[in-house]
Chain A
Amino acid sequence: MKSLSKNRNHWLLTFAIIVISCVALCAMAEQHRRAQGHLPTVRDDLNLWALERSRVDGLGENAIAILGTSRILYGLDPQALARALPGKVPVMLAVNGAYPLAALSDLARDANFTGTALVDIDARGLSRYYRDMQQAQVSRFIAGVGPSAAVHRRILSQWQAKFLLGDADLGLVPTLTRLIFNAAPPQPRHATIAPNRAGSLDFQHPNTNTAAMAANFAAGVLADYQDHPPPAPDQWLAELDDVVKDIRAIRARGGRVLFFCSATSGAHLMADQQGYPRAQYWDRFAREIVVPNGARAIYALDIPAISALRLPDSSHIDQRDRAAFTATIADLLKKID
């Protein structure tokens, strides 16, 4: 009995020291990272996308599936949109750096989807080169996320959103590697993502060089034309058969589709127009494909409230403009109801 009690005390003391030392060390690490200006952010992955996608199925006509790339991912606030459209449930499915046609096709195939697809895409993103960019996300959704992975991912999102300890770039081994081999530490990021996958960009962050970002975007678009030459307008339109089928499938079930071409500015806009001039591509897409099939197409620069918003890096809005941007999108969605 005495030995049992001794054993218990031995382990109680051990556990107390484990907890105290661990909490102290982790608190120090967290504090150190915060002092360097880092902010906690969710690390997006395929499971998180698949879990959000699975929410769409149970929402019926109240679902607003937000598809697209970084512009809408970091621009639109799903919670504010939900407040502006009572009864509707926006679900963020945009993916940074990946055009969304694979996700649109997935929604079109899904008999349970009867809501609204808000598709942020430009003329370049509609071309055949970029059809499968979100296929990995769709495949993960179809394969399914197991119950344990789902619970883990949900808790992990909350953990990452609250603590920098969840940031892989600032992890122990990368930090040790940088210390030992004299590499520069990572600069605090200006982009953050919330557990519902909605992001925001803080262009007032001290480490953001918006001029360099804008130059990179424009150069990136021009370089991409070398690898993926823009198809001739007629060919480009002819290759949009799958998009037509997707629109029709969603419309046949009573769903709605709104294509939204986000704004760009400066050299970036010029580069966009150089490869895919609006009149020959987007406008024809809207006129010959979208409208005849019962969908809607919006060119953001035609909307005064959006074109008035500043694009510090020539492509994305600042987090301070998210409310105005979201309110405008809400108005557009009300109009198509």
Chain B
Amino acid sequence: MPFDSFSFLLFFISVVLLDRMAWGTPARKPILLIASWAFYAGWNPYFLPMLIATSTLDWWLGRKLMTASKVMKNRWLMLSLISNLGVLAYFKYRFFIASNLDSIFDTGLLHSLQAPGAASWVLPVGISFYTFQSLSYCIDAYRGRLPATPVSWMDFSLYVAFFPQLVAGPIVRFGDFYPQLARNPRSDAAQLGTGVALIIIGLFLKVVGADSVFAPSTDLLFASATHDFRTAWLAAMAFSGQIFCDFAGYSLCAIGAARAFGFWLPENFNAPYAAVGFSDFWRRWHISLSSWLRDYLYIPLGGNRFGALRTYVALSLTMLLGGLWHGAAWTFVAWGALHGLYLILERLLGPMLTRIHARQSWPVATLLRAVAWLITLLLVMFAWVWFRATDSAQALTICAQMLAPNSIQTIVVSADSKLMACGYLVLIALQLAQRRFQLLARLQTLPPVILGLLLGLLLSAIIVSPGNARAFIYFQF
């Protein structure tokens, strides 16, 4: 169930109360597990058996991987990779693979997949997230990075299914979560308070920011048949704002919900639009995924240990696959490819730019840094067009206009889009400020009256912004 729903409100209050009653008893973990399954079944009860089956298989494989010989370990790991990625490929990529095979070999595969009577499984919510989480457990078990003590099925199932992070992350590592489970953390007033505060801020980002300020302009501008330089950049701006508020809002709600039960989840966003350079961007955007890709893909592909060319190949593959992870479409691959290209260019030009920067006086160095920030932001926005576009033709049309400042500007910009642009500037200013001041951390140090008024204002804004509720963008991944 989405965080921005009445059903979640009822669910959350019920589970917090149940959890408080079960503190210190053996019933706590089963209650959290059953609640997490109920949370997942809230979307579609038919998804639940697959979640239980895949997590049970990975739990069993993990036990094998911890105790098997070297040869058997390789086989068990292969089985884990095949089962996890096979399930993901079937549910998420079968139509994409079939349509591409069709276009090359004319196999008719897509037609047979779509024929009446063919299995028509819909994509289970959050499958990409929990698959990666399960997979990282098996790979860590293979690498011998997990505690040697046997992990109970209950603990592992709760690690995968823990409802705050189940559907759209943050992607949690077993090594980070298991010690918390073992400790069976008790939520105190501060954790419950911080958790609820984070949920309110997250919901504000989602309901007011993403759904009310940015999404209407995104829909309008991307649906438009014609674009000029100005509206093309406005479209990119609108989606940049929407996807940040949507996903960072979700992540804050997830972190806050976990905190209310005494669990800590990793930070997922840290002022990404204040990044200077693309490595910096990826240390700030969807941090749990980018660190997952780094540890389980980029480094195994060689990372930066085998020279420049191999590094560029590893970077490109990581970003291409990272793009494909988001969705079964070439537009996502193009988005990943663009970021791969940005990272390679940064590595090529980085040393030279660093030398130039180091030689300048303070004002010039600051100016250069500001230019680098602006270029980063504009190129990130440019890439978002591919992420949002319905197809390559739409992305190409909008990107072409973004690169044509002399295009005739006759399209009337709506009042909604003007407000959206103002909202985007505020968002950027806040992220630049957050880079220096860590705004969220400072919130907790505010006096109760100020904090209460601020959160009361945000909560009121959420309530008076009903809008057209939209699913969180990352649920589709």
State the A residues within 8 Å of B (CB): 4, 7-8, 10-22, 25-26, 29, 144, 146-149, 151-152, 155-156, 159-160, 165-168, 171-174, 176-178, 180-181, 183
Contacts and interface: CB of A to CB of B under 8 A. Distances in A.
B253 to A, nearest CB: 15
Nearest to B419: A177
Given A18-B452, A173-B208, A25 B466 contact: no
A147 B47 CA distance: 12
Interface of B: 1-2, 5-8, 10-11, 41-45, 188-190, 192-193, 196-197, 200, 208, 212-213, 415-416, 418-419, 448-449, 451-453, 455-457, 459-461, 463-468
Given A26-B463, A168-B466, A10 B193 contact: yes
Given A15-B452, A181-B418, A7 B44 contact: no
A180 B449 CA distance: 30
B460 A22 contact: yes
A151 B466 CA distance: 17
Nearest to A183: B415
A273 B220 CA distance: 38
A18 B204 CA distance: 14
Nearest to A171: B465
B42 A172 contact: no
Contacts of A180: 415, 418-419
A145 to B, nearest CB: 10
A18 B456 contact: yes
A167 B189 CA distance: 35
A11 B7 contact: no
Given A146-B44, A172-B464, A181-B415, A13 B449 contact: yes
Contact of A14 (B10, B45, B213, B448): B448
Contacts of B465: 171-173
A17 B453 contact: yes
Max chain B C-beta neighbours (<10 A), residue from A10, A20, A173: A173
A147 B188 CA distance: 31
A214 B468 CA distance: 30
Contacts of B42: 146-149
Nearest to B214: A173
A147 B466 CA distance: 21
Given A168-B467, A172-B208, 15 more contacts: A11-B189, A14-B448, A17-B453, A18-B455, A19-B456, A21-B453, A26-B460, A148-B11, A148-B42, A149-B1, A149-B42, A171-B212, A171-B465, A177-B415, A183-B415
Contacts, number: 134
Given A11-B189, A14-B448, A176-B419, A165 B456 contact: no
Nearest to B194: A11
A152 B6 contact: yes
Contacts of A20: 456
A172 B212 contact: yes
A10 to B, nearest CB: 5
A20 B466 CA distance: 20
Contacts of B418: 180-181
A127 to B, nearest CB: 28
A159 B6 contact: yes
Given A148-B42, A180-B419, A21 B212 contact: no
A300 B212 CA distance: 43
- B-side interface mostly: helix
B464 A17 contact: no
Given A18-B455, A177-B419, A172 B461 contact: yes
Contacts of B196: 15
Contacts of B213: 173
Given A21-B460, A171-B465, A177-B419, A152 B193 contact: no
Max chain A C-beta neighbours (<10 A), residue from B43, B418, B461, B463: B463
Contacts of A21: 452-453, 456-457, 460
Nearest to B415: A181
Closest 9 CB pairs of A and B: A17-B452, A21-B456, A148-B42, A148-B1, A11-B193, A25-B460, A173-B212, A155-B6, A8-B189
A34 to B, nearest CB: 14
Contacts of A152: 1, 5-7
A79 B273 CA distance: 54
A125 to B, nearest CB: 27
Contacts of A177: 415-416, 419
Contacts of A19: 456
Nearest to B212: A173
A227 B471 CA distance: 35
Contact of B193 (A4, A14, A25, A176): A14
Nearest to A25: B460
A148 B8 CA distance: 8
Contact of B463 (A10, A11, A22): A22
A198 B155 CA distance: 49
A174 B215 CA distance: 13
A5 B189 CA distance: 9
Max chain B C-beta neighbours (<10 A), residue from A14, A29, A165, A181: A14
Given A13-B449, A152-B1, A173-B212, A22 B456 contact: yes
B418 to A, nearest CB: 7
B189 A7 contact: yes
B88 to A, nearest CB: 22
Contacts of B197: 14
Contacts of B212: 171-174
6 contacts: A16-B452, A172-B461, A173-B465, A177-B419, A180-B418, A181-B418
A299 to B, nearest CB: 38
A251 B418 CA distance: 57
A171 B419 CA distance: 14
Given A148-B8, A159-B6, A171-B212, A14 B466 contact: no
Contacts of B419: 173, 176-177, 180-181
